[in-house]
Chain A
Amino acid sequence: MTGMVALYIFMLAAFTGYEVISRVPVILHTPLMSGSNFVHGIVLVGAMVALGHADTTLEKTIGFIGVLLAAGNAVGGYVVTERMLEMFKSSGSRGGRETH
Chain B
Amino acid sequence: MAEGDIRLLIDASYFVTAVLFIFGLKRMSSPVTARSGILWAGAGMLVATIVTFLYPGMSNYPLILAAIVVGTIVAWWSGKRVAMTDMPQMIALYNGMGGGAAGAIAAVELLRQNAVHETVPLILAVLGAVIGSISLSGSLIAWAKLDGRINGTWRFSGQQIVNGVLFLATLAVGAYIVFIAHGHASPAIVAAFFGGALVFGVLMTMPIGGADMPVVISLYNAFTGLAVGFEGYVLQNPALMIAGMVVGSAGTLLTLLMAKAMNRSVSNVIFSNFGASGDDQQGEIKGTQKPAEASDAAIQMRYANKVIIAPGYGLAVAQAQHKLYEFVKLLVDAGVEVKFAIHPVAGRMPGHMNVLLAEAGVPYDMIYDLEDINDEFKEADVAIVIGANDTVNPAARTNKSSPIYGMPILNVDQAKQVYIVKRGQGKGYSGVENELFYADNANLVYGDAQKVMIAMIQAVKSLEGGH
Residues of A at under 8 Å CB distance from B?
1, 3, 6, 9-10, 13-18, 20-56, 58-60, 62-92, 94, 98, 100
The reply to whether the CB of B253 lies closer than 8 angstroms to some CB of chain A is: yes
Q: Is the CB of B363 within 8 A of A71?
A: no
- Beta-carbon nearest neighbor of A75 in chain B: B75
Note all chain A residues with C-beta closer than 8 A to B42: 38, 78, 82
The reply to whether the CB of B8 lies closer than 8 angstroms to some CB of chain A is: no
5 additional contacts, CB 8 Å, given A39-B246, A45-B49? Answer: A35-B38, A36-B225, A44-B101, A46-B237, A60-B60
Q: Is the CB of A87 within 8 A of B355?
A: yes
Q: Please encode chain B, from 334 to 371, with 1 for each CB lying within 8 Å of some chain A CB and 0 for all others.
A: 00000000101001011110110011010111110100
Number of interface residues of B (CB under 8 A): 120
**Which among B31, B60, B101 is the interface contact of A52 at CB below 8 angstroms?**
B60
Within B54-91, which residues are at the interface with A (CB < 8 Å)?
A: 55, 57-61, 63-64, 66-68, 70-72, 74-76, 78-80, 82, 84, 87-88, 90-91
How far is it, in angstroms, between the C-alpha of A38 and the C-alpha of B241 when the chains are bound?
15
Q: Is the CB of A51 within 8 A of B63?
A: yes
Note all chain B residues with C-beta closer than 8 A to A26: 257, 261, 342, 344, 350-351, 354, 369
How far is it, in angstroms, between the C-alpha of A59 and the C-alpha of B113 when the chains are bound?
11
Q: Is the CB of A35 within 8 A of B246?
A: no
Write the nearest CB–CB distance from A80 to chain B, whole angstroms: 5
Note all chain B residues with C-beta closer than 8 A to A66: 100-101, 103-105, 107-108
The reply to whether the CB of B37 lies closer than 8 angstroms to some CB of chain A is: yes
Note all chain A residues with C-beta closer than 8 A to B166: none
How far is it, in angstroms, between the C-alpha of A79 and the C-alpha of B228 when the chains are bound?
21
How far is it, in angstroms, between the C-alpha of A3 and the C-alpha of B119 when the chains are bound?
11
Beyond A35-B28, A40-B98, whether A30 also contacts B342 by CB under 8 A is no
The reply to whether the CB of B235 lies closer than 8 angstroms to some CB of chain A is: yes
Binds A, one of B16-24, B144-152, B292-300: B16-24
